[in-house]
Amino acid sequence: MPGPAKLTQGSTLKHVVYMSATGAFGLMCMFLVDLVDMLFLSMLGEKEAVAAVGFASTIMFFTISLSIAVSIAATALVSKAVGEGSIELAKRRAVNVLAFGILFSSAVVWLLWPKIPHILLSIGATGRTLDLATGYLQILVLGMPAVMIGMIGSGIMRALGDARRAMYATLVGGLVNAVLDPIFIFAFGLGVQGAAIASLIARFSMVAVSYYGVVHIHKMLGEFDLMDFFQDVKPIAWISVPAMLTNMSSPLANAIVMEHTASFGDDAVAAVAVIGRVIPVVFGGIFALSGAVGPILGQNYGAGRFDRMHSVITSAVIYAFGYCLLLCFCLYQMQDWLVSVFHATQGSAELIRFFATFVSFSFFFQSLLFIAIAVFNNLGKPFNSTLLNFGRATIGTWPLITLFSLFMGAEGILFGQAVGSVIFGCLGFYTARNYITELEEKEARDIVSSNHHRYEEIL
């Protein structure tokens, strides 16, 4: 059985660091497994195989984003119920989010599976690459309900403050994938399809780990009731749908950046591709921040601990500043090694060095945006997160990179992105802090009004 709301007690900084570190480790494991996947397939000596997985990954990013969005709803709803001390409501919300996720992901698979060849063709896959990508994706998409269950299970465990077991689901999935990849690709001679089968099995291993943690350790699944499910669909969708839209903004920003970068030639495109691979590994602790702060805020909001909610925000900023300061210094020191290991040309090397020297610290301001997204997703205004992230991806990207690239060339694209991160990070953080203050003042007014009514009843 779940214990008391442990995130409402103890050091908020300790909670932020622990939840972020475990989340970052799981994310980095996923990114590293993707790199290993590509490495094994490149050993086949068939460029179409690598290209096929590249095309398929674009579609898989979309399906995984949907799973992450529903897991955000699970974390927000369960953590608030736990903070209120209503364990039965938390169990009900947990089983209903899982039911919602299974139904939703199954519907996506049913709609997506027959259209896979047409979708891949529309994004540029042709010939043998199209055939390989279709076979790969048709196997992998079948595992979307498993990914959904695994992500929701991890979200429920984070809502309880059990970030360690939430990390295990991702970690075990990554390890299973890495072990099975060479067996299915080389030993069984299945090539790209072997990589897909290995990934599919890995996703079911995530389900097993999540199920063990949620059901056997925490005993967090209540009995399914259809009327309760229909009652909970609205709050689940209210958080999930904006979170899905929020997740879609990142590929939009990347597409805008890549389109502008292409006009500066292959060296610039290669540099941006290298930076894109470095960012998730170096700044994984920042990307995990939103998922870490969310359950801490949720439990304390449920418990009415606004003092701790303000403290959580401050602790998150301290963590992000320290993390960025350390990792940006390391990145600055390692820039020559990065240029060497990726065999960067002179033009690419200049952009990589510019990013490592001048632009990388802008991720601190991006972390402020992630904190704001956590606030709005978990405290009842998820559409604010969507507006902020789409704002950064559009007016915080396109006009700025266009302007600065006129004066700075390709470096202006990186600098424009950084300026956009500063603007929207500060804007998001300011509005998020004000929103918490508004909630606190509203609760105080409600308490005064309630006491006044009781006094009148006594009289």
Considering the domain boundaries, does residue 3 fall inside one? no
Sequence-separated (6 or more) residues with CB below 8 Å from residue 170: 26, 27, 29, 30, 150, 154, 206
- Identify the sign of the CA torsion 419, 421, 426, 428: positive
Q: Which of 56, 399, 107, 93 is nearest to 260 (CA)?
A: 399
Considering the domain boundaries, does residue 411 fall inside one? yes
DSSP string, 206-241: HHHHHHIIIIIIS-------HHHHHHHHHHHHHHHH
The model's pLDDT over 128-137, given as tens digits with 9 standing for 90+, comes to 888 988 998 8
Considering the domain boundaries, does residue 76 fall inside one? yes
CB 263 within 8 A of CB 45: no
Q: Are residues 208 and 324 in the same domain?
A: no
Q: Is 381 helix (H, G, I), strand (E, B) or coil?
A: coil
- Structural domain tally of the chain? 2
The pLDDT value recorded for residue 97 is 96
Considering the domain boundaries, does residue 215 fall inside one? yes
Q: Are residues 396 and 327 in the same domain?
A: yes
Considering the domain boundaries, does residue 16 fall inside one? no
Top-confidence residue, 330 or 163: 330
The model's pLDDT over 140-190, given as tens digits with 9 standing for 90+, comes to 899 999 989 998 999 999 899 888 888 888 888 888 888 998 899 888 888
The pLDDT value recorded for residue 9 is 87
The pLDDT value recorded for residue 255 is 72
CB 415 within 8 A of CB 359: yes
CB 145 within 8 A of CB 68: no
The model's pLDDT over 205-244, given as tens digits with 9 standing for 90+, comes to 989 999 899 999 999 888 899 999 999 999 999 999 998 8
What is the radius of gyration, based on Cα positions, of the chain?
Answer: 23
Q: Which domain holds residue 381?
A: 249-451
Q: Are residues 283 and 401 in the same domain?
A: yes
- 0.85 surpassed by pTM: no
Tokens linked to 209? 């780990």
Residue 414 amino acid letter:
L
CB 248 within 8 A of CB 68: no
Q: Are residues 270 and 211 in the same domain?
A: no
Sequence-separated (6 or more) residues with CB below 8 Å from residue 368: 317, 320, 425, 426, 428, 429
Name the domain boundary from 189, 224, 259.
Answer: 224
Considering the domain boundaries, does residue 12 fall inside one? no
Distance (Å, rounded) from C-alpha 112 to C-alpha 101? 16
Q: Are residues 197 and 326 in the same domain?
A: no
Q: Are residues 170 and 205 in the same domain?
A: yes
Q: Are residues 295 and 390 in the same domain?
A: yes
Given pLDDT bands bounded at 50, 70 and 90, which one contains residue 312? very high
Q: Are residues 197 and 273 in the same domain?
A: no
Q: Are residues 170 and 297 in the same domain?
A: no
Q: Are residues 192 and 256 in the same domain?
A: no
Considering the domain boundaries, does residue 8 fall inside one? no
Q: Are residues 131 and 217 in the same domain?
A: yes
Q: Are residues 54 and 128 in the same domain?
A: yes
Considering the domain boundaries, does residue 231 fall inside one? no
